Chain A
Amino acid sequence: MTAPTSVRPTTYREAIREAMREAMRRDDRVFLMGEDVGRYGGGFGVSLGLLEEFGEDRVRDTPLSESGFVGAGIGAALGGMRPIVEIMTVNFSLLALDQILNTAATLLHMSGGQFNVPLVIRMTTGGGRQLAAQHSHSLEGYYAHIPGLRVLAPATIEDAYGMLEPALADPDPVVIFEHGSLYNEKGTLPDPPTAVPLEGAAVRRAGTDVTLVTSGGCLGRCLDAADDLAGSGISAEVIDLRSLRPIDDDTVGASVSRTHRAIVVDEGWRSVGMSAEVAARIAERCFYDLDAPVGRVAAVEVPIPYPRHLEAAALPSAERIAAAARKAVLGDG
């Protein structure tokens, strides 16, 4: 990669749109389909303007049938296309879970290696926008559980742009989670923008006393918590997993082996989810380096509430993250 010549302002939403636009210009096998992605411009406005540029064959509005259009995407991928399927929220994706698990993730195995499924599925995840319990959940763990999938959670504008090209190049199915609260995030991209590697966690802030391990929509809250902790003399390292399957154990392990304390922050529910998986890996790998129990900050185990104050109370906040980190560093006493 050459050094970028300049930067230009953009948003997380525009970065994804730009990545899709360039992919479709570059490769006529690439097309987008999903509910309202065409005339309406996408449930969250990500694909606004693409129908006008690429036409109805390549930007396809689908019926409200997740199982149907994800299955069609799998078929198109098998037929040599490079589909991008948008599912409006991860809650709705459960209707397509059979297609994703039993077909997309499994076909390479069941065909004895004959049939790859080069499919990219994008979906919105997470709460915080008062969309209530059927639009606000974080079910990344459901997909990260499945062998045969690659699961990505871009938390930054660079990753939102840069992950799409290598995801389309991957011969196997890739699921990309876009946290709904990130679409309006403002930032910059290198000009021209560049692809990024799919694997490997990123240290978003270096620190020495405690490691905050997170991904996606919780990254900003962890960075806020780290600012707060720095004010009281606690140096927190923030790791953005970026990829939820596979998980980069090396980066997490190296960090925890230095800081000796870890807090896993995840917007999914606490039980049997991403945070449990990451905490278990830390315990397996870093047990003799741990100076405090691995802490977790996760969603309260209720359907995410609609009222603003209840929703805020249910989700991980910078305050809860900082409190968990203080407890790990300073002890209970």
Chain B
Amino acid sequence: MGEFRMPSLGADMTEGTLLEWLVRPGDVVHRGDVVAVVDTSKSAIDVEVFQDGRVERLLVEPGTTVPVGQPLALLSDEGAAGSTAPPAPVPVAASAPVPEPHEAHIAASPFARRRAVELGVDLSSVSGHGGVISVADVERAAAGREESATVAPVSSPAPVSSPAPEASSHARAMREAIAALMARSKKEIPHYYLTLDIDLHTSLGWLTSRNAGLPVDARVVPAALLLKAVAVAAAEFPEMNGHVVDGAYRPADRVNLGVAVALRGGGLMAPALVDADRLDLDALMTAMKDLVARARGGRLRSSEMSDGTLTVTNLGEQGAQSVHGVIYPPQVALVGFGRIAERPVALEGLLGVHPVTTATLAADHRVSDGHRGGLFLARIAELLDEPENLVGGRP
């Protein structure tokens, strides 16, 4: 018997609201399956389960807010050993189709949905008449639950007045979460900063000619090349890629590259490109577009929210010249790229004009020193100078 708990979807998360169950008791689940939707202060996240098993009992009703770590459901081992257990799906955003758990739409009136949240009733357990759940069905289900009282919810139904928090309160909550995390970072992590101008003449020239023969949707933007270079370099610099847990540093054995995404309504998220160093360039480009779109649409997977090992912030074409970032705890480094701009550069005693970006590194002095940090940035520059080597993926 195992427990499926409220996951931590980022170091800034202390509690989450269960929005929806995507499984029912009796369902067999496998590691990586999306089983629930959880609302953090940032957005609604599709939460994956990390073990195989059969759902024994759901402990928390939708609409309930519980602290990180509280059990949400009980899983039995049955089914895990079953012959049908497929290999655990690798959550590679690039190739894995985004699951569509909401295809199984429950027909319920808007008022019934609102009451279900208020009463903590799981709509999937309610049967409507004429194929549609109305508020009377929800209230009947709630009354029946109180009468039987055998499966009492772990916590009392949350007094949520509407299913979606007000946009303004959501924005406020996100701002508070960012404030808490960034303050914690600056309080705990002794940052040091390094800067390196990187000449992108070679790499952008190469990219332009590579894109020339491709349809628009297959073209790769410079940001993807920068991400790939950082990911490959990070795999070679374990002291830049990992987490500080309980005061001790644990290098990560893979590179899940956090990508800072500015949200349209304000605020910011840093979901991760899982195994970014192993993706070939086209797959990374696809994954990046997908990740940004889903971050802005509020449909991220839990592993993307919690598993970042190193974060990149890219100011893009409209941004400032450089960024000295704040490390995203418990990570230990953050790479920033300023705007790519044409700048005068000295070339063999002459002056030329090349596209240049200013790369910065903010790193945790408890884990690394400036010398290694400098080598890390230099390695990124070196990789970018031979862009053809960044095309392929690795097994």
Fill in one digit per residue for A295-333: 1 if any B CB lies within 8 Å of its CB, else 0: 000000000000000000000000000000000000111
Judge whether A331 and B135 touch: CB under 8 Å. Answer: no
Do A332 and B109 have beta carbons less than 8 Å apart?
A: no
Question: Nearest Cβ in chain B — how far from A289, in angstroms?
Answer: 5
How close is B153's CB to chain A, nearest CB, in angstroms?
23
- 9 A-B interface contacts by CB (under 8 A): A260-B111, A288-B162, A289-B114, A291-B111, A291-B112, A331-B129, A331-B132, A332-B129, A332-B131
Q: Are B132 and A289 in contact (CB under 8 A)?
A: no
Write out the residue numbers on chain A whose beta carbons fall within 8 Å of the beta carbon of B134: 291-292, 331
Q: Is B101 an interface residue (CB 8 A)?
A: no
Task: Answer whether residue B165 sits at the interface, using C-beta atoms and an 8 A cutoff.
Answer: no
A-contacting residues, B208-235, CB 8 Å: none
Is there an interface contact between A288 and B131, defined as CB atoms closer than 8 Å?
Answer: no
The reply to whether the CB of A23 lies closer than 8 angstroms to some CB of chain B is no
Collect the chain B residues with CB atoms within 8 Å of residue A81's CB.
none
B26 within 8 A of A: no
Q: Which residues of B contact A287 (CB under 8 A)?
A: 110
Report the Cα distance A296→B21, complex, angstroms.
35
B108: nearest residue on chain A (CB-CB)?
A291
Number of interface residues of B (CB under 8 A): 15
Contacts of B136 in A (CB 8 A): 291
Contact A290–B111 (Cβ < 8 Å): yes
The number of chain A residues with a CB under 8 A from chain B is 10
CA distance A281 to B87 in the complex (A): 52
B163 — nearest CB in chain A belongs to which residue? A288
Q: Tell me whether B349 is interfacial, beta carbon within 8 Å.
A: no
What DSSP secondary structure best describes chain A's contact surface?
loop
Determine if B99 is an interface residue (Cβ-Cβ < 8 Å): no
Question: B130 touches which one: A288, A289, A331 (CB < 8 A)?
Answer: A331
B111 surroundings in chain A (CB, below 8 A): 260, 288-291
- Considering only CB atoms, which chain B residue lies closest to A287 in the complex? B110
**Residues B71-120 near A (CB distance < 8 A):** 109-114
Partner of A290, one of B109, B129, B131: B109
Chain A residues contacting B162 (CB-CB under 8 Å) are: 288
Interface string of B123-147 (1 = CB under 8 A from A): 0000011111011100000000000
Write out the residue numbers on chain A whose beta carbons fall within 8 Å of the beta carbon of B114: 288-289
Whole-angstrom CA separation of A287 from B109 in the bound complex: 9
List the 3 closest pairs (A to B, CB-CB), nearest first: A333-B130, A332-B130, A333-B129
Q: How far is the CA of A289 from the CA of B132 in the complex (A)?
A: 16
User: Which of A287, A290, A291, A292 counts the most chain B CB atoms within 10 A?
Assistant: A291
Please, which residues of chain A bring their CB within 8 A of the CB of B135?
A: 260, 291
CA distance A331 to B110 in the complex (A): 15
Q: Smallest Cβ distance from B170 to chain A, in angstroms?
A: 17
* 16 further contact pairs, Cβ within 8 A, besides A290-B111, A331-B129, A333-B129: A260-B135, A288-B110, A288-B111, A288-B113, A288-B114, A289-B111, A290-B110, A291-B109, A291-B135, A292-B109, A292-B134, A331-B128, A331-B130, A331-B132, A331-B134, A333-B130
